[in-house]
Amino acid sequence: MFCDIGFSQVKLIAHRGAKKYAPENTIPAFLKAKELGADFVEIDVRQTKDGILVAMHDATVDRTTNGTGAVKNLTWSEVQKLDATAEWKDEYSNIPVPSFRQVVQKTKGIINLDIDFKDGNLDSVIAILK
């Protein structure tokens, strides 16, 4: 036996998806994590100015997109126009920041979610999961 708890009880969680293989907190990163054998993907959730939940770790979009500003000060329409491949220019292009609803729809039945709720309305998270 590998450890006292039994190896079958250990679960692999891909932090922000397979962020070493695809842009973090994007659908390609989440699906790649499953392909690589992850049991869960950790997703960070923040809320836009107009109440839409999005997958974004940082309080701003500056590091991971071609935009600037705090998520909470941007509308969903503004966020949808961003390219989430700022750190991946040679390998990926034109990958949008997904809404939390889109992540749930695209990963349902494929991989489990470990939700890191950063900011917004928790009732909205629960409603989407239901």
* Active site positions, annotated: 15, 57
CA distance 58 to 83: 15
DSSP 98: P
> In 1-130, which residue ranges form alpha helices assigned H by DSSP?
27-35, 76-80, 100-107, 122-129
Structure tokens at 71: 């998520």
